[in-house]
Amino acid sequence: GWTILAGTLLESGEGQTLHWGWRALIAAAFITLMLVAARPLLRRLLWRTQMEPVLRLALLIGFAFGSASVTQFLGLHAICGALLAGVVCPREKDGTLDPDLLRPLHDVSSLLLPFFFVVSGQAVALNSMSGTGWAAFAVVTVLAVTTKIGSGTLAARLGGLDRDDARTVGVLLSARGLTELIALNAGLQAGLLSGPLYTVLVLMALTTTLLTQPLLLLVDLAARRTELRRTLHGPRAPDTAPPAEPQPRPSGNSANPTNTAAP
């Protein structure tokens, strides 16, 4: 999804003197440089500053801002560069980030996140929503919920999960949350989305996220009812035929009709 968004932003970049093909080539070279050279360099710098948490935080923030500036210059949104910086950030052997790095970053994000929601909400124009806009919102929301839950449940079932767990996975995938808002803001700032369409999609993202908890409760209730029904009725006994009654054994003479007395 992010790759498609980046490609769309790159092709529709306005105010750029370079052709989008050259910018795509430079962007590919920049990504390669980040993965090949920047990651080991950043790992070494973080290792040398492991006793200086403030310096490490400044290093990570500066690295993210630098990457965002490059992608913004290339006609991409700054969020693409920040996302690339997060991908390049060194990880532990199990694939997770160092908790000592995440802790201060979480503090900074908790401080700045409300401002992002304020900026996102300023572009939402509910007073301009007409009947057609509300109808579009209803259709988009229903399609977003049903397709995401259906595809997520089907994929989970094909992956070996049971019915209840597969439904839970589908419901969790239906939640858009912060990632959807970031992508919508990037599309709005790039001119890919109009104001009314942005409003409809933001309302859809918020609605699908708010529906996650009630839908999870419904899935859990259905699972409990199924388990209770199985407990009350118990396992079904297999169908078996009744045992055959024993037949009386004939006498010795009648058992062999050829055994008759001689004349």
What is the per-residue pLDDT across 105-130, written as a single tens digit (0 to 9) for each?
A: 888 888 888 888 887 788 888 887 88
Answer yes or no: is pLDDT of 10 > 80.
no
> What confidence score (pLDDT) does residue 117 get?
80
**Cα 209 from Cα 173, distance rounded (Å):** 10
92 three-state secondary structure: coil
Q: Which helix (H) or strand (E) holds 40?
A: helix 39-48
Confidence of residue 248 (pLDDT cuts 50, 70, 90): low
**Cα 25 from Cα 32, distance rounded (Å):** 11
> What confidence score (pLDDT) does residue 176 get?
83
Q: Nearest Cα to 200, choosing from 117, 131, 119?
A: 131
> What confidence score (pLDDT) does residue 19 get?
74
Confidence of residue 255 (pLDDT cuts 50, 70, 90): very low
Q: Is the dihedral of CA 105, 106, 111, 113 positive or negative?
A: positive
What is the per-residue pLDDT across 25-76, written as a single tens digit (0 to 9) for each?
A: 888 899 899 988 888 898 888 888 877 888 888 888 899 999 999 988 887 8
* Ramachandran category for residue 237: left, alpha or beta (phi over 0 → left; psi -120 to 50 → alpha): beta
Answer yes or no: is pLDDT of 261 > 50.
no
Averaged pLDDT, 174-194: 83
